[in-house]
Amino acid sequence: MSLRPDAESSRLILRELLSQPTAPFHEHRVRAALIRVLERAGVSTRVDASGNLLARYRRGRAKPVAFTAHMDHPGLELLSVSGTEAEARWNGQVPTFDLRDARVALWSDSSAGLRGEARVLDGDGRRPPETVKRVRLEVPPGARAGDFGYADLTPFALEGGFIVSKCLDNVAGCAAIAAALQRMASLGLPGNVHALFTRAEEVGFHGALAAIAGRAFPKTVPAVVLECSKAMPGAEQGQGPVIRVGDKARVFDADLIAACEEAAREAKKADPELRVQRRLMDGGTCEASAFGLAGWRAMCLAFPLANYHNVGPAGLEPEKIMERDFLDGVALLCAFAAKGLDPAGARRRLAGWVKERFGAAEARRLKSSAGEPGA
């Protein structure tokens, strides 16, 4: 049985989530859309004190696993407004060009909703994360301090096999988790899944660190972090999601990675068309590092991404991932949950494989061919 969901049901989830406005500290509408999707699938949800969303799927006697992804994407927040101009702080990094004349969709967190289109007069997003990145804008009537905005780009589209959006990193990761839980519920698959959707990742993992401090799920539960990560050689679009073995900061848990690879191989037996890649993707740092440093077994499953953080060849452009990679990633999440990830077992099996390579016969051969000392 293939665990890959049908494209249409996944597209409905992607459209519902990617069409929502989002920026660091302003993820509320994405969170509300996730709650709607998950509750339609019969998955229970709750919001923690920091505004992270937690969901729980439990059926049968599968080993527990956690899936996590962040709900924000780089954007700005108005600090002050004077007439038709405003000063703003850019939250999250846009690494390669200044933002002058960029068009920004400006939103209120209140029921006022969309304020309209703003235009960047001066400023850029290239400074280091610890630096306050100031942006000056021309804003529409009604703009207020506290409003937020993001590059005014395509909310959601399908183009030539690609999913295209203003905010794939990492609302698409949230959509993958939701689609996997929906698929598992529809098939009645066993699973023991803790799902965590975090806030303010783009400014330093704030939501994830709050969840870690609050023990959102036990340290005995392995964590699979979903990401959209910059495509690179060996982590190429159309070749499947990437079992990401590390990021710019550190290498992830080797035994958990081995367990994920075992589960992927089993899934491929049932679905030979399933694709998956494996690579250290050092183009950025992801929440798997935060969980790993805090004592969890953690790794990342990443969708190879074009136009990372909306930086395209000609300026601001929507991000792109391949729909096939997304659907294969959903299938892998279902496999991880239904099979259960067993890092300790994977380690034992690999250790046994190594031990089989060296026994008495191999030891004798080494000694008999060692030659004279000093030769």
Q: What does the pLDDT read at residue 92?
A: 87
pLDDT class for 373, splitting at 50, 70, 90? confident
**With 60 as the cut, is the pLDDT of residue 95 above it?**
no
pLDDT class for 353, splitting at 50, 70, 90? very high
**With 70 as the cut, is the pLDDT of residue 126 above it?**
no
Percent of the chain with pLDDT over 90: 88
pLDDT class for 241, splitting at 50, 70, 90? very high
Q: What is the pLDDT of residues 140-187, one digit of tens each?
A: 999 999 999 999 999 999 999 999 999 999 999 999 999 999 999 999
- The number of CA neighbours under 13 Å toward the Cβ of 358 is 6
pLDDT class for 83, splitting at 50, 70, 90? very high
Give the mean model confidence (pLDDT) for residues 304-319. 93
Q: What does the pLDDT read at residue 132?
A: 63
Burial state string for 183-221 with b = 16 or more CB within 10 A and e = fewer than 16: bbbeeebbbbbbbbbbbbbbbbbbbbbbbbeeebbeeeb
Q: What is the CA radius of gyration of the chain?
A: 23
Q: What is the pLDDT of residues 182-236, one digit of tens each?
A: 999 999 999 999 999 999 999 999 999 999 999 999 999 999 999 999 999 999 9
Q: What does the pLDDT read at residue 196?
A: 98
Q: What does the pLDDT read at residue 334?
A: 98
Please state the φ and ψ torsions of residue 193, each to the nearest 5 degrees. -110, 130
Q: Mean of the per-residue pLDDT values for the chain?
A: 94
Dist. CA 158–CA 15, nearest whole Å: 10
